[in-house]
Amino acid sequence: MSNFVQLDENNIVVQGAVVSDEIAVDESSGINYLHTIYDNTFNWKQTYKDGTRKNYAGIGHIYDENRNAFYAPSPYPSWVLKEDSCSWHPPVDYPADGRTTMSGAGKKYIWDEDNTEWKEIE
């Protein structure tokens, strides 16, 4: 099965669709098929789980034509989009003594956008 997403006029993902691989032998054939089902004016892009377009697209994600990539909206205005992964990163690294998983050891931190720093939470 091949996965496609519909983009609005701002290249924001608004819905997804799945097309069988027999029909979607490539992106163009999948999009042509979707145009027979949905309004022909809708803009569709194929999304991949293998990183072909950096990230697997979800509702609300952005398609960047220049990067040929999908990425989530920025969680905070100060965060920076990393070119290699098209993922958002804070301007300050996560503290080394912080937890990396829910069950892991270490302190808990939350991002404080007003001060652009990590704040420890109890």
User: How would you class 115 by CB atoms within 10 Å of its CB: exposed for 0-12, middle for 13-18, buried for 19 or more?
Assistant: exposed
Please give the model's pTM, rounded to 2 decimal places. Answer: 0.84
Each domain of the chain, given as residue ranges in start order, spans: 2-71
Q: Dig out the tokens for 109 from the structure.
A: 């931190």
Residue with tokens 């990539």: 69
Tell me if residue 109 falls in helix, strand or coil: strand
pLDDT, tens digit, 9 for 90 and up, residues 63-92: 999 999 999 999 999 999 999 999 999 999
